[in-house]
Amino acid sequence: MTAPSPGRTARLAAHLPQPLRRVAARLPGALAPPVEPGTSTPRVAIIGTGFGGLGMAARLRQAGIDTFTIYEREQGVGGTWRDNTYPGAACDVPSHLYSLSFAPKADWSRKFPQQPEILGYLESLVDRFGLADHLRLGCAVEEATFDDDARCWRLRLQDGTEAEADVVVAATGQLNRPWIPAIDGRDDFTGTTFHSARWPADLDLTGRDVAVVGIGASAIQFVPEVAKQAKSLALYQRSSNYVAPKPDGPISDLARRRFERSPFLLRLYRLSIWARFESRWLLLRKGSKAGDIGRKKFEEGLRLLVSEDLPEPAVIPDYPLGCKRILISNDWYPTLMAPHVRVVTEGVERVTPGGIVAGGEERAADTIIFGTGFASTGFLMPMRVTGRNGADLHERWAAGAEAHLGMTVSGFPNLFVLYGPNTNLGHNSIIFMLERQIAYVLTCVRRLTESGDATLEVKPEAEAASNKSLVKRLDNTVWAASCHSWYKTDSGKITNNWPGPTVQYWAATAWPRAKDFVETAKPSR
Ligand code: NAP
């Protein structure tokens, strides 16, 4: 199959003088001209088929690099958008920004996309970029080991077979392993119980007494839907959330036709959403004035909801705005006020065969749904990753994961992590970050192609310097405040978030700096 078109931007860039071409190639959505047909290129193993994995594969195809395989644990593509099928599942980033800039979708049906439409978009990328022949579904990579002599990676796959790769791109995400706290008596429960990311197909909750443990971004989406069916609904909420209105609604046929006719308009609209979201960074700095004003505004509105049935801790957060993800919903507070819904703010003590005990009181339940989030700080788990000289990645990360710009780790040549440590955001679209990482990895793969060398490895001093600056900047963010969130390890190290606006990440990743890397030649045969 021929490489898909690299797009108009790249074609135009090809006519620019060399220095300008280099700049143009770094613009979001741009791509340098494809490698010459017949060029020998590194074998790339991509792990995961969410936005990161599919985006990486699509960009490799556009760059004329076909020597890649995409390994996926499940039987279908889509990552988190395949796994989270709970009722009401949707994204809180507007549709036109929540897609790859180089694979725009003009016909989104709503301003904020819902799970089936996002999954449909991700699935469509397989045909759009000719990825089917590169996919190995139902094939988890269980172990990746760097072979010091051959200077390549050896992968042990779920089916017991092995594969070799020169470059490994781990695109397994931060939120792929559902987490349920160890609560006494959980195994003795006799009713139905599951995690929100493992929602049973065709589940009917009509007439049921439902308990939800954990009220975060997922729960505020599925709880209003569950409340429509359940006889009673008890919400075990340890901390309340800041929930803002969601300016959602269908997109008119006229607007869709305009976007279809004018890719420029579509780009401009996307850019305007990105710029608006980027300004929200101001809320996330420690001691931010904007954050204080925002928190006061929230409090004023939320105080009006406080009642005997809905006491202050049920609705008013006791931590700074943004310390946990700011949520959006139009039906959250109305649901809390429904007569059959109760918010329980006392901690869960134990589960009994027929319910949950909290605050010394047992409440009956025949269904318990855990909305308790994901094991978010165990990057790349449960895959075993062994680098140069037998170094174990998870041992290296025992005190909390870290990587140079979230992507590379010294001692692990040619290993790139997408959506790795400290690359999550609290204010803008993660797809922007992923695209910067994909461009960075692609540049490294091109460099290996051009040099004919075997490996690129970040220098320990470059890694240490970027992590030192990261820690300093994280200290000045709202996440350093004393709320617990999935952004931190149990010991309080912030391992998940990027401490700045996305433009700062863009600037830091625009050109992989040659002096930050050691390049190693292929072994002589
Ligand atoms: P989450 O935000 O981590 O929420 C987990 C909830 O479980 C929190 O309320 C937490 O309470 C609670 N919890 C944890 N341990 C508990 C315990 N022992 N007892 C009682 N409660 C406990 O997880 P999530 O809701 O699944 O969302 C995870 C992330 O997924 C989001 O932040 C977001 O990035 C992503 N997501 C995104 C979208 C989107 O629109 N883009 C939609 C859904 C999810 P505390 O707050 O007190 O720790």
Q: Which atom of ligand 1 is nearest to the CA of 183?
A: 18
Best residue for ligand 1 mutational test, from 117, 486, 498 (most atoms within 8 Å of Cβ) = 486
User: What is the per-residue pLDDT for 256?
Assistant: 97
User: What is the per-residue pLDDT for 14?
Assistant: 56
**Cα 352 to ligand 1 centroid, rounded to whole Å:** 23
Q: Is the peptide bond before 382 cis (omega within 30 degrees of 0)?
A: yes
Q: Which atom of ligand 1 is nearest to the CA of 219?
A: 25
User: What is the per-residue pLDDT for 484?
Assistant: 84
Ligand 1 atom 14: residue of nearest CA: 372
User: What is the per-residue pLDDT for 500?
Assistant: 96
Which tens digit of pLDDT belongs to each residue from 452-488?
Answer: 999 999 999 999 999 999 999 999 999 998 788 999 9
Using CB distances shorter than 6 Å, the residues near ligand 1 are 91-92, 175, 181, 213-219, 236, 238-239, 324-325, 348, 371-374, 484, 486
**Cα 220 to ligand 1 centroid, rounded to whole Å:** 9
- For residue 348, the tally of other CB atoms under 10 A from its CB is 20
In the block, residue with structure tokens 């036109």: 96
Which tens digit of pLDDT belongs to each residue from 183-218?
Answer: 999 999 999 999 999 999 999 999 999 999 999 999
Q: What fold, for 41-177+376-520?
A: FAD/NAD(P)-binding domain (3.50.50)
**Equal fold, 41-177+376-520 vs 186-241+285-370:** yes
The runs of H, that is alpha helices, within 347-477 are 393-396, 430-451, 460-475
Q: Which atom of ligand 1 is nearest to the CA of 91?
A: 40
What ranges do the domains of the chain cover?
41-177+376-520, 186-241+285-370
In the block, residue with structure tokens 């060399």: 18
Best residue for ligand 1 mutational test, from 175, 179, 194 (most atoms within 8 Å of Cβ) = 175
- Name the packing angle between helices 502-509 and 430-451 (round to 10°): 0
Q: How far is CA 433 from CA 123, 206, 450, in A?
A: 21, 41, 26
CA 152 – CA 144 distance, rounded (Å) = 10
**Cα 218 to ligand 1 centroid, rounded to whole Å:** 6
User: What is the per-residue pLDDT for 1?
Assistant: 43
- For residue 355, the tally of other CB atoms under 10 A from its CB is 22
User: What is the per-residue pLDDT for 33?
Assistant: 82
pLDDT one digit per residue (tens) for the chain, 525 residues: 444 555 555 555 556 666 666 666 655 556 778 898 889 999 999 999 999 999 999 999 999 999 999 999 999 999 999 999 999 999 999 999 999 999 999 999 999 999 999 999 999 999 999 999 999 999 999 999 999 999 999 999 999 999 999 999 999 999 999 999 999 999 999 999 999 999 999 999 999 999 999 999 999 999 999 999 999 999 999 999 999 999 999 999 999 999 999 999 999 999 999 999 999 999 999 999 999 999 999 999 999 999 999 999 999 999 999 999 999 999 999 999 999 999 999 999 999 999 999 999 999 999 999 999 999 999 999 999 999 999 999 999 999 999 999 999 999 999 999 999 999 999 999 999 999 999 999 999 999 999 999 999 999 999 999 999 999 999 999 999 878 899 999 999 999 999 999 999 999 999 899 999 999 999 886
CATH number of 186-241+285-370: 3.50.50.60
Best residue for ligand 1 mutational test, from 122, 218, 368, 497 (most atoms within 8 Å of Cβ) = 218
